[in-house]
Every structure is written in C-alpha cells, then in structure tokens.
Structure 1
Amino acid sequence: MPSPAFIKASEGVRELTSKPSNDDLLKLYGLFKQATLGDNETTEPTFDLKARFKWMAWADLQGMIPVEAETQYIALVQELKAKHQ
C-alpha cells in the first residue's frame, strides 16, 4: 500500500505549472509503476514507440524495492515542484 507521502506526491504532479521534460516524465512513470506494481513483467511493446519508452523506463528499475521507488518518486516530484512552480 502506498505511503501517504507517495499519494500526496502523485497528486502534486498535477499541480505543476509547466510540463516536465520527457526524460522527467519517463522517470516519474517508471518510479510510479515500480512503487505500485513492482518489477515489470509485461511484454515489451514493439510498434508503439511511446509505449516502448515507458516500458523501458519501468524495466530499467527491475529489482528496485517498491519503498525505494516511492522515496525516489517523492524526491523527484519535490525537485520538479521547485523548478516548475
């Protein structure tokens, strides 16, 4: 179950005044998925490039424990809020 701080951070992403870079969005996606679902056990998409980049962002975190992914996600959201507000 996600921590209250993680839930607050995931809601805080919607409050950013400008869109983060694609790299930051992929980091957020991968960390969120790792924190909430654990290791990526899905099949890699082949034709949809956007889906493939998202899949890779999550797969790159293979083996990271969900609590660590939560911690990194919260830190990244805080960093982005400082830059984008």
Structure 2
Amino acid sequence: MDFNAACEKAKAFSKRPTDEEFLEFYGLFKQSTIGDVNVERPGALDLKGKAKWDAWNKHKGLSKDEAQKAYIATYEKYAPKYA
C-alpha cells in the first residue's frame, strides 16, 4: 500500500477514530507532506490548534519517506477497528 492510498482509506473510515488516534494520523500526515513544523505554536486559548501543532512537532526530524511509512503502519494498525 502506498501513502496516498492509506490517506484515502483513512478518510473513508466508517467510524471516527478517537481524538488521540486522529492526532497520530494528523501529525504523520503533516510531516509526510510538509516536513518539520513551520508555523508558530498557537496561543494558550487555541486548545485544538495546540494539540494539532504538538502532534506534528512530535515527528520533527523524521524524513518525509519515514513519516509516510509510519502513516501507512498507523493506518494498518487502526483499519481493523474503523474501516
């Protein structure tokens, strides 16, 4: 399975993953497509924005290829539960 196929299949999950699982996907997706976090961390009142920024920043230094492999592995881990 390639990265794009995993992204499309993850978007088509029949049930929504938990917030923590969603952030796992989000951080790896951003690292895969953009690379290291390139924006300032949101302010104290933006809890959702901070959680997303932290999830992305957790993968800092991971190459785009490594992040894509990790995303695919994450998809395969959760697919039986949500697909």
Same fold judged by TM-score > 0.5? yes
- TM-score norm. by structure 1 comes to 0.90
Q: Which amino acid aligns with 2:30?
A: K
1:29 and 2:16 are equivalent in the alignment: no
User: What does residue 79 of structure 2 align with?
Assistant: 81
Inter-partner Cα distance in structure 1 for 2:11 and 2:39:
27
Aligned length: 82
Pick the aligned partner of 2:53 from 31, 52, 55: 55
- Report the RMSD for the aligned CA atoms in angstroms: 1.2
Residues in 2 aligned to 1:23 and 1:7: alpha-carbon distance in whole angstroms: 22
Deviation at residue 60 of structure 1 after TM alignment: 1.1
Runs of 4+ in 1 over 2 A off after TM superposition: none
Structure 2 unaligned blocks of 5 or more: none
Percent pairwise identity: 35
- Normalised to the residue count of structure 2, the TM-score between the two structures is 0.92
Q: Does 1:19 align with 2:53?
A: no
Deviation at 1:51, TM superposition (A): 0.6
**Cα displacement (A) at 1:56:** 0.4
CA shift for structure 1 position 81: 1.1
SS in 2 for 1:26: helix
* Mapped partners of 2:62, 2:11: distance in 1: 25
Any unmatched runs of 5+ in structure 1?
Answer: none
